[in-house]
């Protein structure tokens, strides 16, 4: 009987954890666009959150798919760059220089590019999200300020 109660509690904790993970992702998404919208319009945080939610709802937009795809591409790209840099440095240090610290040097050569490329990836994501927000504002007002943004983002509607 004790075992079945443990399984029930564990399954309840698992379900709650999954639900809270989705809620956290949704709040993070709203928060990210709210900060960008507050920076563009100069509104306060809460009013920018309300107007951003209304803006996306009026235009039936969801940046989740494009945002997920862009984050995935940038993260995998930065990971590949850092791992290849670390592996190449390890091979060079261990085999050409005959260093006993080749593994440590290779790990260091993988971590530094990872942090640098993630910094630039996050910067690129902020630029893309802000451009998407400007696209949503253009859709809401019925204007076109940058036709290239409309060409790119119209495929995600």
Report residue 140's pLDDT band, with 50, 70 and 90 as the boundaries.
confident
Contact 78, 124 (CB under 8 A): no
Structure tokens at 152: 């790119």
Arithmetic mean of pLDDT, 119-138:
88
Residue 146 is given by DSSP the state -
**In which band, very low, low, confident or very high, does the pLDDT at 79 lie, cut at 50, 70 and 90?**
very high
- The pLDDT tens digits for 27-47 are 877 787 888 888 888 999 889
In tens, the pLDDT along 49-72 reads 888 888 888 877 766 666 778 888
Q: Which two tokens stand for residue 108?
A: 């260091």
**List of E strands, the chain:** none
Site of tokens 């999200």: 129
Q: Is the pLDDT of residue 157 over 60?
A: no
């Amino acid at each position: 009987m004790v075992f079945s109660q443990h399984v029930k509690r564990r399954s309840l904790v698992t379900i709650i954890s999954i639900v809270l993970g989705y809620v956290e992702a949704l709040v993070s998404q709203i928060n990210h666009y709210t900060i960008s919208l507050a920076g563009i319009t100069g509104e306060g945080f809460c009013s920018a959150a309300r107007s951003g939610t209304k803006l996306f709802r009026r235009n039936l937009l969801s940046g989740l798919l494009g945002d997920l795809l862009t984050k995935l591409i940038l993260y995998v790209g930065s990971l590949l760059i850092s791992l290849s840099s670390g592996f190449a440095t390890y091979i060079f240090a261990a085999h050409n220089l005959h260093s006993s610290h080749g593994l440590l040097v290779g790990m260091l050569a993988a971590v530094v590019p990872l942090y640098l490329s993630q910094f630039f990836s996050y910067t690129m994501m902020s630029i893309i999200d802000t451009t998407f927000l400007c696209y949503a504002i253009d859709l809401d007002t019925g204007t076109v300020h940058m036709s290239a943004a409309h060409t790119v983002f119209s495929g995600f509607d």
